[in-house]
Amino acid sequence: MTGNPNAAADFVQKAAPGFSPRVAIVLGSGLGGLADKVEPVASIDYADIPDFPRSSVEGHAGRLILGRLGGMPVACMQGRVHYYEGIDPEALALPVRMLKLLGCEILLLTNAAGSFHKKMGPGSLMLISDHINFTGRNPLIGENDEAFGPRFFSMEKAYDPTLRKHLKAVAKEMELKLHEGVYLHYLGPNFETPAEIRMFKKLGADAVGMSTVPEVLVARHAGMRVAAISNITNLAAGLGETELTHEQTLECAMLAASDLEKLTLVFLETLKRELLKAHMRSSDDGRD
């Protein structure tokens, strides 16, 4: 086990006494702006959290922000680490487990991704319906920590059907086009070859990126509900006109960033109402 999620959670709890986030949000490349919308309770550098893995990638700030967003108590991760940084896969378990220990029941992940469909070009948003782990890696390999979940677990409904329904309803209400598709995790750090993209399309993927899947695996193992949205920054290799660069990823992440921010805000507001209703229903049941 790399690092102790309990020590990390204790440290964060001390920085925000009495605050318990219910939703965790991970902000991908160029999407850090949403963090500025959080009414902050505490802002903590990853460097200060015991054993917390830190990113070396530009566009990933490396800060945990606790506060309220859309009225919901949230923990917002501004930046994440990736396998291609040379990080031990097991180390990727710590942030998600820490979020679970802090009280987060829901994990909303965002990322930048390349699209396989011309109709889903740069500036589009894609709700992830399922994924293909093409990395051959998994943060859960090794001794199982029963405190978080069982050795073997299902990934059949990894991307929570109810949360997806909510997100689609919110997008429709906002008249915002929300595509839906399968995300493929490519190890990187290079962008794919056109031949790889043709193969991935045949395998059933709709978009490709270098993150998210490890966090989903750890969250599902721990019984958290997951939703994830890709911010499409480019057409994948061989499908577009321009050469792929990280600068282009960051630049094009801005195209849909404000749509994604609005969608997230309204989603959290509706989620708050739903959770409140569910809570009231369960209190009613308790009285019967």
Applying CB under 6 A, the site for ligand HPA has a residue count of 14
Q: Give me the least distance between CB of 114 and ligand HPA, in Å please.
A: 2
Tokens of 288: 């019967």
Per-residue exposure over 58-84, b if at least 16 CB sit within 10 Å of its own CB, e if not? ebbbbbbbbbbbbebbbbbbbbbbbbe
CA distance 285 to 277: 12
Binder to ligand HPA among 107, 120, 236, 255 (CB under 6 A)? 236
Is residue 138 annotated as part of the catalytic site, yes or no? no
Q: Quick check: helix, strand or coil at residue 108?
A: strand
Binder to ligand HPA among 79, 122, 209, 214 (CB under 6 A)? 209
Please check whether residue 12 is in contact with residue 64, taking contact to mean a CB–CB distance below 8 angstroms: yes
Is residue 55 annotated as part of the catalytic site, yes or no? no
Residue 13 or 29 having the CB closest to ligand HPA: 29
* Interface positions, 92-111, toward ligand HPA (CB under 6 A): none
**Which candidate, 71, 61, 64, 57, places its Cα nearest to that of 11?**
64
Q: Give me the least distance between CB of 257 and ligand HPA, in Å please.
A: 14
Side-chain half-sphere CA neighbours of 255 within 13 A: 19
Binder to ligand HPA among 30, 59, 114, 149 (CB under 6 A)? 114
Is residue 221 annotated as part of the catalytic site, yes or no? no
Binding track over 179-198 against ligand HPA, x by CB under 6 A: -------x----xx------
Task: Supply angle C-alpha 168, 215, 156, rounded to 5.
Answer: 60
Q: Give me the least distance between CB of 55 and ligand HPA, in Å please.
A: 14
Give residues in contact with ligand HPA (CB under 6 A). Answer: 112-114, 186, 191-192, 208-210, 233-234, 236, 244, 249
Q: Give me the active site residues, please.
A: 29, 60, 82, 84-85, 112, 210-211, 234, 246
